[in-house]
Amino acid sequence: MSEVKVVSEDKTAYKVELQGNEGGLLNGESFNWDVQQVKDKTYHIIKDNKSYNLEVLSANREEKTFFVKVNGDKYKFNVKDQFDELLHSLGMDNLASKKVADLKAPMPGLVLEVDVEVGQDVAKGDTLLILEAMKMENVIKSPTDGTIKSIAVNKGDTVEKNQLILNFA
């Protein structure tokens, strides 16, 4: 069983737990359906004795956003799995955004190492610093391509959650 949170464009959230192709739970209530792929990105669904034609107009898997057409009506929504929800609860979900100006500490800890300098160009995924939290070393990586504008911490500093670590130019 896979559980996801689906958030519509109007911010309505649905908890969906799929159990194979036969159905699952929608906000805790059981449902059954029959899903058949008609062609690439087009599906026919029967749910509660009603027929639906679904076409996936666009799917951005990196951002987990989808734009679909169901029986002629268009819908845009975002899907979050258990890992997205965990990152959100830890305050780390902003690291996935493309335009990042400030990088803040995802958790309280001790700065063990600063691996970048002001003016240095970094690529998404490059190591910026090592933060020790709860006796574990956490590698803080760059969420974006950019240039380091300023560094607000030094080796040996203690930081609080959401404290500014560095700025990107």
- Tens digit of pLDDT for each residue in 112-158? 999 999 999 998 889 999 999 988 999 999 988 889 999 999 999 99
90 — alpha (psi -120 to 50), left (phi > 0) or beta?
Answer: alpha
Q: State the Cα–Cα distance between residues 35 and 46, nearest whole angstrom.
A: 7
CA distances from 70 to 44, 63, 160 (A): 10, 21, 46
Q: Does residue 32 surpass a pLDDT of 60?
A: yes
Select from 96, 130, 118, 112 the least CA-distant residue to 168.
118
Tokens coding 98? 């493309």
Q: Does residue 80 surpass a pLDDT of 90?
A: no
What pLDDT shows up at residue 64? 87
Total-model pTM: 0.51
- Domain residue extents for the chain: 2-82, 99-168
Which of the two residues, 169 and 118, has the higher pLDDT score?
A: 118
Which of the two residues, 87 and 73, has the higher pLDDT score?
A: 73
Domain 99-168: state its class. mainly beta
Backbone torsions φ then ψ of 88, nearest 5 degrees: -65, -45
Do domains 2-82 and 99-168 share one topology? The answer is: no
Instruction: Average the pLDDT over 43-70 and give the result.
Output: 92
CATH of domain 2-82: 3.30.700.30
Beta bridge partners of 7: 13, 78
Q: State the Cα–Cα distance between residues 166 and 141, nearest whole angstrom.
A: 12
Instruction: Average the pLDDT over 89-101 and give the result.
Output: 65
Tell me the pLDDT band of 94, cut-offs 50, 70 and 90: low
